Amino acid sequence: MKLLLDFLPILLFFACFKGAEANKDWAADFATTHFGFMVSGGKVGPGEAPVLLATVVVILATLAQVAFLKLRGRKVDTMLWVSLVLVVGLGGLTIWFHSETFIKWKPSVLYWTMGTALWLAPLLAGKNLLKVMLGAQLQLPERVWHRLNFAWVAFFAGMGLLNLWVAYSFSTGAWVNFKLFGGLGLMLAFTVAQGLYLSRYIEDTPAADAKPDSKTP
């Protein structure tokens, strides 16, 4: 359930963009009629309608995600709050200024925020955030926690740069494809590689000794 909630805004962004891109004139009329008050000049053109509608959808989906967790009495992760602020702020600028540039920066800023938090926490607070989150499930040497933390910092830094390279080197449609398939695919591949690396340090928990059968007197 949590996995679905985490990826739902991205999936909805992708689905809305692709649907609107296939019907640009309709999308432009729909966006102008229903969201024209949110746009500078009050009119949305066919070329910009897909990304504007998808941005509206991802803002609403992220707001709904936070509201759902709060109503269920569940904790809203810090990074979800950060994501909400970024998607509302940068998404709002994309809608108002008819510019896809702002929403394209959102993944990079989020990646860099997460990487910066992992990098600064040991320096400023003396805490390895990965160990704080995963220490109860994984027993690893300190040097391995340090390497793991550095690997995630480097990964997030690289993902932020890669997102901008795709955003500025290819079409918006290609960027949307990368955002879903490329971003999630690379995250999965990195996680699997990390698991393979950690496997050498994780010892199997020895099975509990069987209790001897009681002897019949």
Reported confidence tier of residue 134, pLDDT bands at 50, 70, 90 = confident
> Do residues 122 and 183 touch, judged by C-beta distance below 8 A?
no
Residue in the structure block whose two tokens are 């504007």: 52
Global pTM? 0.87
What gap in Å lies between CA 66 and CA 80, rounded to an integer? Answer: 8
pLDDT at position 63 over 70: yes
For residue 88, what are the contacts with CB-CB under 8 A and spacing of at least 6?
Answer: 59, 62, 63
Could you tell me the residue ranges of all domains in the chain?
A: 1-98, 100-202
Average confidence (pLDDT) over 38-51: 94
pLDDT in tens, 1-43: 565 677 889 999 999 999 999 999 999 999 999 999 999 999 9
The residues, ordered by sequence, that sit 6+ positions from 130 with a Cβ below 8 Å of its Cβ are 118, 145, 148, 149, 152
- Report the alpha-carbon distance of residue 42 to residue 36 in Å, rounded: 4
Q: Which residue has the higher pLDDT, 168 or 203?
A: 168
Task: Tell me how far CA of residue 27 lies from CA of 24, 94, 188, in angstroms.
Answer: 5, 16, 33
Give the dihedral of Cα atoms 111, 114, 120, 125; nearest 10 deg.
180
